[in-house]
Structure 1
Amino acid sequence: MYLRHLQVGHFRSWESADLALTPGPTVLVGRNGQGKTNLVEAVGYLATLGSHRVSADAPLVRHGASQAVVRAALRRDDRELLVEVEINPGRANRVRVNRAPLPRPRELLGLVRTVLFAPEDLALVRGDPAERRRFLDDLLVSRTPRLAGVRSDYDRVLKQRNALLKTAKLARGNALATLDVWDGHLTELGGQLLAARLQLVADLAPYVAESYAGVAGPGADRAALGYSSSVPLAGDGAPVDPARVLPGAEELAAALRERVAERRKDEVDRGVTLVGPHRDDLVLHLGPAPAKGYASHGESWSFALAVKLACFALLRADGDDPILVLDDVFAELDTGRRAALAEVARSAEQTLITAAVAEDVPAVLLGTRVQIADGQARILPGEPADESAATGEAGVDGG
């Protein structure tokens, strides 16, 4: 899989940009603030319908514009697809594939697969559980797109249930009877989401251990993953045991129902749902201790990098190379970590790299180079993608 062409209109700092791309590595070079990260952010939006930098769509639209457009020609096996997304803050986004509209934007998910490594990924190790839950669920949807509907429905039910809990303490019996109905929806969907997360953690864990050993080098502590849940059956945070038979969705839903019943009084008193996958955490272990709070700065970088390399290996093992996006990370890495990342990046079908200066990028990855400056993206002379001169002047239809 690779992108053959990328266009953006009124996206972030770009009024418009039109960039042809090729397989292999492409390095976008430019000073900070010139817009190189904005272009790879647009690629990531096609894969996740979200940004790795902000949680809402509004900041993605250029100041003064009402909408942003991201359009890409995608080569997948022997097919070429045209993918278009209109980002409309405050209104429904619109998605088209080969000019045909999709009924729901989330139907795009899984068509474009990316693995992005950026400085923000340190939050996987040092950040709050919400960061790791989002990481897990985005990877889940990339592997199994139908789970986007499960996640969306769970979030909707959770919102409705929380609204009811806020009034249940003062309400009469009818409100609590209604709460029982929402409990059924919450536990059914929660059981499906829990089962999928547990399987994903089990699948990802050996790749993380292998990647961390390669990045950190001989003598490093072993990296492992665990899952900590508000439902004891789903996990207590201990490292994954490969011999464990994982519980299924129905078994987890039953355990979730039991736990919800146990916490009902507490939930009514506090007006919030205290049990479910929205309260869980992915636990990163480094040797005998959790990485959060114990890992050094260098170990945290190694772990974050290992997790992303593991994601790439897992998606590749599923049968399709994702697009690898490396956003301004080589300047942050030492020689060993650079080499480990470069080895994977050079093997990917397509790698998009951003850097302030080309010298930050290992020489083996200096394929096509694109200069980003003054609202333009220009292929440097002598580079292989001779058809791909791109400028901020090229028109992108915002409609």
Structure 2
Amino acid sequence: MYVRHLQVGDFRSWERVDLALQPGPTVLVGRNGEGKTNLVEAVGYLATMGSHRVSGDAPLVRHGASQAVVRAALRRGDRELLVEIEINPGRANRVRVNRAPLQRPRDLLGMVRTVLFAPEDLTLVRGDPTERRRFLDELLVSRTPRLAGVRADYDRVLKQRNALLKTARMARGKAIETLDVWDGHLTDLGGQLLAARLGLVADLAPHLAEAYAGVAGEGAAPAALGYSSTVPAAGDGTALVPGAELPTAAALTTAMRERVAERRGDELDRGMTLVGPHRDDLVIHLGPAPAKGFASHGESWSLALGLKLATFALLRSDGEDPILVLDDVFATLDAERRAALAAVARSAEQTLITAAVLDDVPPELRGARVEVGDGRAVLVREGSPVGEGSAP
């Protein structure tokens, strides 16, 4: 898959961009603050319906505008896919695919696949569990779109159950009976989500081990993955054993229901749900210890890069290359890590790279380039401009 044409309107700093693109590597080059990352952020939005830089949609709309538009023509084998998204902060977004409206915006998830590597990804190793849960769930939905509904339903039930817990302590009686009903909904959805996450971690782990070994070089400690859960049956954080049998969704639902019953008193006291996938964590191991708190800065960078290379390899193994987006990372990597990343980037069907200085990008990736500056984005091929967009 690759983006053949990208249009944005009132997105971030851009009033309008109309840009032709091509397979292979394309470098978006220009000074910091000119809007390079805004353009690849728009491509990422097609895949996740969210931004890797902010949690809400409001910052994505250009100041003074009421909505933003992202439109892309994508090639998928011998087929063309036209995706159009209207971003409406405070209101429902609208999505059309090949001019036909989707009933639910989330139905777009899984149609476009991207893998983004950016400096912010260091938080996957050093940051809070929230970042790693988000990483897992976005990858889950990309591979299995129906899980977007499971995740949305789980979040809705969790919110309603938390509201009930805040009042049930004093109300007791009927409120406790109602809580029993919500427990059933929570544990059924939670068991499905836990089973899906464990399966994903098992699939991703061998790709991480291979990618990290390639990035870190000979003699480096091996990288592995584990899952730490508030439901003991789902994992205690130790590295998964390759080929080990994983618990089923039904078994995890039962285990979660038992754990919720055990923690009922604590939940009533604190007014919040203490058991479930919303409190779990992906544990990245380096040798015998968890990487968080033990890995050096260089090792953390290698693990973050390895995790994204593993993601790319996993999605590729599903039968189609995702679009690879490398946002301002080459300037921060040493020669060995740059070479490992460049090898994958060169092999991808399409790689979009941002850089402040073209010399930061390995020579083999300097194919087409988009010159971004002075409110314009111009695709240059063999010295001739072939398409452009503009900002106010």
Give yes or no for TM over 0.5.
yes
Matched-pair contact (CA < 8 Å) for 1:24–1:349: yes
The residue aligned with 2:363 is: 363
Q: CA deviation at 1:267?
A: 0.2
Q: CA deviation at 1:374?
A: 1.4
Matched-pair contact (CA < 8 Å) for 2:380–2:386: no
The residue aligned with 2:311 is: 311
> Which deviates more, 239-248 or 49-58?
239-248
Q: TM-score, normalised by structure 1?
A: 0.97
Q: TM-score, normalised by structure 2?
A: 0.99
Matched-pair contact (CA < 8 Å) for 1:228–1:237: yes
- 3-state SS of 1:17 partner: strand
The residue aligned with 1:144 is: 144
CA distance in 1, matches of 2:133, 2:4: 32
Q: CA deviation at 1:387?
A: 7.7
CA distance in 2, matches of 1:191, 1:388: 52
- 3-state SS of 2:206 partner: helix
CA distance in 2, matches of 1:30, 1:199: 41
Matched-pair contact (CA < 8 Å) for 2:212–2:222: yes
> Which deviates more, 165-174 or 38-47?
165-174
The residue aligned with 1:174 is: 174
User: Gaps spanning 5+ residues in structure 1: where?
Assistant: 395-399
Amino acid at match of 2:334: D
Q: CA deviation at 1:98?
A: 0.8
Q: Which runs of 4+ in 1 moved over 3 A?
A: none
Matched-pair contact (CA < 8 Å) for 2:21–2:379: no
Count of residues in Structure 1 that have an aligned counterpart in Structure 2: 392
Note the alpha carbon deviations across 1:172-211, whole angstroms, 9 max, x for none. 3111111011000000000000000000000000000000
CA distance in 1, matches of 2:366, 2:172: 68
The residue aligned with 2:107 is: 107
CA distance in 1, matches of 2:151, 2:389: 39
CA distance in 2, matches of 1:172, 1:32: 58
Note the alpha carbon deviations across 1:24-76, whole angstroms, 9 max, x for none. 00000011000000000000000000000000000000000000000000110
Note the alpha carbon deviations across 1:215-239, whole angstroms, 9 max, x for none. 0000101000000000000000000
The residue aligned with 1:134 is: 134
CA distance in 1, matches of 2:196, 2:380: 45
CA distance in 1, matches of 2:380, 2:130: 41
Q: CA deviation at 1:375?
A: 1.4
> Which deviates more, 373-382 or 254-263?
373-382
Q: CA deviation at 1:243?
A: 3.2
CA distance in 2, matches of 1:79, 1:389: 23
The residue aligned with 1:25 is: 25
CA distance in 2, matches of 1:387, 1:274: 57
Amino acid at match of 2:247: P
Matched-pair contact (CA < 8 Å) for 2:166–2:268: yes
The residue aligned with 1:196 is: 196
The aligned runs of 1:1-399 (5 Å cut-off) are: 1-380=1-380, 382=382, 388-392=386-390
Q: CA deviation at 1:381?
A: 5.4
RMSD between aligned alpha carbons? 1.1
CA distance in 1, matches of 2:154, 2:169: 23
Q: CA deviation at 1:248?
A: 0.6
CA distance in 2, matches of 1:11, 1:306: 31
The residue aligned with 1:397 is: none
Amino acid at match of 1:11: F
Amino acid at match of 1:78: D
Amino acid at match of 2:388: A
Percentage of matched positions with identical amino acids: 78
Matched-pair contact (CA < 8 Å) for 1:20–1:387: no
- 3-state SS of 1:220 partner: coil
Note the alpha carbon deviations across 1:306-335, whole angstroms, 9 max, x for none. 000000000000001000000000000000
